[in-house]
């Protein structure tokens, strides 16, 4: 028996209730890169997977062997899969596309931003105008960090830099 897939409640889902990859093509001139379209209508021309295909032997084989990488296809669940048995969820691929095109922010980048400003989950929310629970979801990687938050973080950086310059003067 196949386990039932939990439906994703994030707004990036497609008509099936969870995000699926609908089209995937290997980008010939860029190693470990592909283009993809998703069930929510989003598409990304180039998503570079090189840095994300590490730490596990089967993924490193995909990264290091162009012939294996070129077998990228969509499996029955709408996920990215390779002939060697490696796979990647549509959510993960979508997040990478969003981050690499500047439409989102990565969890590690967000955590570094919080640390740089001595913020924690409890006090970062008021700075960005979101709830504590939302900050917790962003910092854990549970929720995609949207472009609006990326821009708010950059704006806060600029405000703090201006404040530091004023204090130095």
Of 158, 163, 38, the closest CA to residue 98 belongs to: 38
Percent of the chain clearing pLDDT 90 (strictly above):
63
Instruction: Give me the residue label for tokens 């093509």.
Output: 25
Q: What is the pLDDT of residues 101-139, one digit of tens each?
A: 888 898 999 999 999 999 999 999 999 999 999 999 999
- Provide mean pLDDT across the span 67-84: 95
Q: What is the pLDDT of residues 13-33, one digit of tens each?
A: 555 678 999 999 999 888 899
All domains of the chain in start order, with CATH: 21-100 (3.30.2020), 105-168 (1.10.260.40)
For residue 13, the model assigns a pLDDT of: 58
Give CA–CA dist 164/1, Å, rounded. 61
DSSP labels for the chain? -PPPPPPP-STT--TTSS--EEEEEE-TTSTTEEEEEETTS-EEEEEE-GGGS-SSHHHHHHHH-HHHHTT-EE-TTS-EE-TTS-EE-HHHHHHHHHHHTTSEE-HHHHHHHHHHTT--HHHHHHHHTS-HHHHHHHHHTSS-EEHHHHHHHHHHHHHHHHHHHHHH-
């Amino acid at each position: 028996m196949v386990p039932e897939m939990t439906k994703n409640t994030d707004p990036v889902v497609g008509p099936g209730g969870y995000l699926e990859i609908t089209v995937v093509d290997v980008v010939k001139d860029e190693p470990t890169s592909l283009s993809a379209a998703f069930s929510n209508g989003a598409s990304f021309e180039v998503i570079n997977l090189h840095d994300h295909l590490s730490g596990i032997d089967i993924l490193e084989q995909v990264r290091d062997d162009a012939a294996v990488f070129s077998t990228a296809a969509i499996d029955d669940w709408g996920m990215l899969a390779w002939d060697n048995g490696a796979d990647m969820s549509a959510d993960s691929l979508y997040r990478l596309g969003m981050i690499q095109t500047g439409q989102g922010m990565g969890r590690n980048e967000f955590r570094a931003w919080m640390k740089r400003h001595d913020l924690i989950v409890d006090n970062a929310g008021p700075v960005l105008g979101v709830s504590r629970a939302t900050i917790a979801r962003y910092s854990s990687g549970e929720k995609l960090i949207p472009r609006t938050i990326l821009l708010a973080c950059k704006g806060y950086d600029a405000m703090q830099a201006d404040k530091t310059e004023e204090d130095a003067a």
